[in-house]
Amino acid sequence: MATGTAPSPRVVVVGGGFAGLACAKELGARGVDVTVIDRRNHNLFQPLLYQVATAALSPADIAEPLRKTLGRYEHVSVILAEVRGVDTTAKSVATDVGSVDYDHLVIATGSEYNYFGREDWRRVAPGLKSLEQARTLRQRLLLALEWAETTASSEERRALLTQVIIGGGPTGVEMAGAVAELGATVSRDFKNIRPEEFRVLLIEAGPRLLAAFPEGLSHYAKQQLEKLGVEVLLNTRVKDLTQDTVTFGDQILPVGSVTWGAGVKASSASEWLPVEPDRSGRIPVEATLQVKGQANVFALGDVALFLDEKGAPLPALAQVAKQQGQHLGKALGRHIKAGATLPPFTFRNRGNTAVIGRHAAVFDFGSWQLKGRLAWILWAIVHVYLLVSFEKRLLVSIQWLWRYVTLNRGARIIAEHARSGEDASPVTR
Catalytic residue numbers read 174
- Please give the residue ranges that form the binding site for a second copy (CB under 8 A): 1-2, 39-42, 58-61, 63, 65, 67-68, 71, 77-82, 97-98, 123, 130-132, 135-136, 139-140, 142-143, 146-147, 149-152, 188-192, 393, 395-396, 398-399, 409-429
Question: Rounded to an integer, what distance in angstroms lies between the CA atom of residue 315 and that of residue 35?
Answer: 27
CB under 8 Å to 396, separation ≥6 — which residues?
61, 387
CB under 8 Å to 231, separation ≥6 — which residues?
199, 200, 201, 202
Alpha-carbon distances, residue 221 vs 227, 293, 373 (angstroms):
10, 43, 12
Parallel, antiparallel or unpaired: strands 257-260 and 352-356: unpaired
> Which residue, 239 or 419, is less far from a second copy as judged by CB?
419
| Side-by-side strand order, sheet with 369-372 | 352-356, 360-364, 369-372
Question: Rounded to an integer, what distance in angstroms lies between the CA atom of residue 151 and that of residue 168?
Answer: 32
23, 326 contact by CB (below 8 A): yes
